[in-house]
Structure 1
Amino acid sequence: MPVSFECLHELDEFARNFDMTGVKACNELFYTYRFLGKFFLTVDGDLNPDVFEKYSDYIASLEGRLGDYLVEDDGTDCVIPKEFEDKKEEEESHSLEEYLEELNKLIGLEKVKKDVNSLINLVQIRKLREERGITQPPMSLHLVFSGNPGTGKTTVARLLSKIYHEIGLLSKGHLIETDRSGLVGGYVGQTAIKTSGVIDEAMGGILFIDEAYSLASTSENDYGKEAIDTLLKAMEDHRDDLIVIVAGYPALMERFLHSNPGLESRFNKFIYFEDYTEEELYDIFMLMCSEANLSLDGPADEYVRQYFKKMCEHKSDNFANGRAVRNFFEEVITAQANRLAPQKDITDEELNTLTYEDFLVEE
């Protein structure tokens, strides 16, 4: 255990003894460790299964040490004024046609969009048959999203949850994202409680489990199987108002599904997210620039095109796709800031233009 963790654990114990219920310092540190750990695991776009397993075990040990001090990181401490909540609801409420348009406007993902649109059509017709009292065979709507990181899996899942709500298939239409650390506990009995809590939160929407293969560990002391069993039961009990999407690398997802007969029977629809092409990566970068009110001069534009061409020619098996573009974009705008900051008089044009010099940080 880190010394900081033990010290804050003692602080929480002291606070509890004096009825200072608002103090949960160790809990905050736990979520910080969990977030930073996930960031460093994926920052280079290459996920090592052995390192991931060590990370999962370490997070589980911290969670077990927390015990009763663990409070779910649900944002309840942040009070949002009602007027902002109302505005948020207005902004998030769109028609079915608008959600479908948003889906079809996504860069690339042509095969994914075709598969998702076919799935939506199937659901709509099933819903119509159901409303007219026509008998139809049962169908599982749980999905497997396979593909490398940064290929839009979470984005498509979020849109699908809203579309299914508009169709009338889901009562709420929200998306709950989680992974192994959000489902598996550190000691006997904790996993079923954690998994059930996440399922309850996802009721009426879609539960999106990233890196789901990490639940199927071969270790005898691992509680991932308990999470899977709890999940399978909930999928059966609440099949009318809960959809589960499991996501991860293709080869690892195949192994995950074959690890349990219940998984194979419930997840029979697969959507594969291909890596982006160099042109699509360029379009994603330019979209980020447009959203930030940035443009490129001629040499910079040519550099970007060549950069993504080389990236695709030398990409790894676990290529990070959109995440790699996001990291590249953030490095470039940082370089622009470092170039402009020493200047006394900065024009609007300079603020809104990326030059070739800003990309040399990548060399």
Structure 2
Amino acid sequence: MDKYGQALINNASKLDAVTDACGEITKLATVIVEENSKAATIALLKKISETVDNHKYKIEVKHTARIVNCSLIEFYGYSTIQDICKSTTVVDEDTRTLKDLLDELNALVGLEKVKNKVQDLIVYQEIQKMRREKNLHSAKNTLHLAFTGNPGTGKTTVARIVGRVYEKIGLLSKGHFVEVSRTDLIAGYQGQTALKVKKVIEQAKGGVLFIDEAYSITENDQTDSYGKECLTELTKALEDYREDLVVIVAGYTEPMNKFFESNPGLKSRFNTFIEFNDYSSNELCEMLTSMCKNNDYTLDNEAKQKIHLYFEEQTSSKDENFANGRLVRNLYDDLVMNHARRVINITNPVCEELSTIKAEDLLFIVNKIKNN
């Protein structure tokens, strides 16, 4: 049993105790971990919902229920939970043209090296396709990609665009996007992992399979045999479905390098490696300004100055866990909330007051900015 399954059972047991469920919740969690039971999953989700919505339970009990919910999501992975709960299949439609997609790629803040590399890749693949149609020799390079860099640098966004672009130029039949993590690929018993990987591959065929933190597949010594089973099946799929499947693996640079070094067979299936650099303070400011504009907010001059100082301090003192775009999103959410708390005290606020974020709305970062 992996750590995610054990955590689910442990947390379910705690919820069992505080709700006097007589072992029912623990039993459901055990069946989920051992059998991947859909019925047990739905039953447990109902138990969690009933606990959270029941007024007789104290906040501590509801908190325990939410922890069980988080453990369930970690065990299955978001995509599997969604598949279980969906009663119908949603048709993946995308009406964007090739020009729309390339414009969207170019509109991304920063990432100039990434954009140039992706555009070169698109041009190259398009020409190779034309050459094949004219019976000219064309390279048999795979379409699979490796994205490396810190979180929040746009890897998932670029991967989605690449899938759609490849569909528009005829390299993929669908261009849809399937994102998975370790829990979506590795099962708790020998032999089940291969089945899980095959199921994921079937879902992704014709589009992009995006594996974030791919090195986590083999990082747990206790489940090393499962990791090897996963990689064996995945490596086979990379070759077997290379004509109509793009696999993009992503993660921190150093762990990804070690992952490929320890797996020459896997590395040989990837022709293109793209490094996503951290954003500069100016680029982070540009992202925040754009986010505000898209949501009908503006920053006054003093707020802009303080925010720029904040991003400069963050980029100069960053470590390997620097959040990049997520840092911007978190700051935006805090600014909007602080703005709301301030403006609610204004009688009949005018449009300018409802849309202008001021320096005083930077409550949580004021003390972090030197010489403000």
TM, length-normalised to structure 2: 0.79
Residue of structure 2 aligned with 1:273, choices 260, 272, 276: 276
Task: Indicate the percent of aligned positions where both proteins have the same amino acid.
Answer: 41
Contact 1:170 1:241 in 2 (8 A): yes
1:110-131 Cα deviation digits (max 9, x unpaired):
0000100110011001100111
Residue of structure 1 aligned with 2:154, choices 152, 155, 160: 152
CA RMSD of aligned residues (A): 3.1
Structure 2 counterpart of 1:194: 196
- Asked whether 1:228 is paired with 2:236, we answer no
Q: Classify 1:9/1:172 alpha carbon distance in 2 versus 1 (closer, same or farther; 3 Å).
A: farther
**Runs of 5+ consecutive residues of structure 1 not aligned to the other structure:** 15-19, 40-58, 64-69
State the shift of 1:38 in Å: 12
Contact 2:128 2:139 in 1 (8 A): no
Distance 2:348 2:221 in 1: 62
Distance 2:24 2:98 in 1: 52
The amino acid across from 1:141 in the alignment is: L
- Asked whether 1:129 is paired with 2:103, we answer no
The amino acid across from 1:255 in the alignment is: K
- Asked whether 1:8 is paired with 2:10, we answer no
Q: Classify 1:123/1:34 alpha carbon distance in 2 versus 1 (closer, same or farther; 3 Å).
A: farther
Contact 1:149 1:318 in 2 (8 A): yes
1:46-73 Cα deviation digits (max 9, x unpaired):
xxxxxxxxxxxxx56xx6xxxxxx9932
Distance 1:119 1:146 in 2: 17
State the shift of 1:331 in Å: 1.2
Structure 2 counterpart of 1:299: 302
- Asked whether 1:104 is paired with 2:122, we answer no
Distance 1:204 1:71 in 2: 18
Contact 1:247 1:253 in 2 (8 A): yes
Distance 1:298 1:339 in 2: 18
Contact 1:9 1:26 in 2 (8 A): no
1:14-67 Cα deviation digits (max 9, x unpaired):
9xxxxx9597133676x976985799xxxxxxxxxxxxxxxxxxx56xx6xxxx
State the shift of 1:11 in Å: 6.0
1:222-250 Cα deviation digits (max 9, x unpaired):
31121111111111111100110100011
1:130-149 Cα deviation digits (max 9, x unpaired):
11112223212211100000
State the shift of 1:163 in Å: 0.2
Q: Classify 1:21/1:269 alpha carbon distance in 2 versus 1 (closer, same or farther; 3 Å).
A: closer
SS of match in other structure, 1:73? helix
SS of match in other structure, 1:24? helix
Distance 1:37 1:117 in 2: 40
Q: Classify 1:146/1:32 alpha carbon distance in 2 versus 1 (closer, same or farther; 3 Å).
A: farther
SS of match in other structure, 2:110? coil
Distance 1:338 1:308 in 2: 24
Distance 1:35 1:178 in 2: 19
Contact 2:42 2:85 in 1 (8 A): no
The amino acid across from 2:328 in the alignment is: V
Contact 2:141 2:271 in 1 (8 A): no
- Asked whether 1:283 is paired with 2:286, we answer yes
Structure 2 counterpart of 1:113: 115
The amino acid across from 1:25 in the alignment is: A
**Runs of 5+ consecutive residues of structure 2 not aligned to the other structure:** 1-9, 17-22, 32-37, 49-64, 368-372
Contact 2:28 2:40 in 1 (8 A): no
- Asked whether 1:310 is paired with 2:313, we answer yes
Distance 1:187 1:341 in 2: 55
SS of match in other structure, 1:168? coil
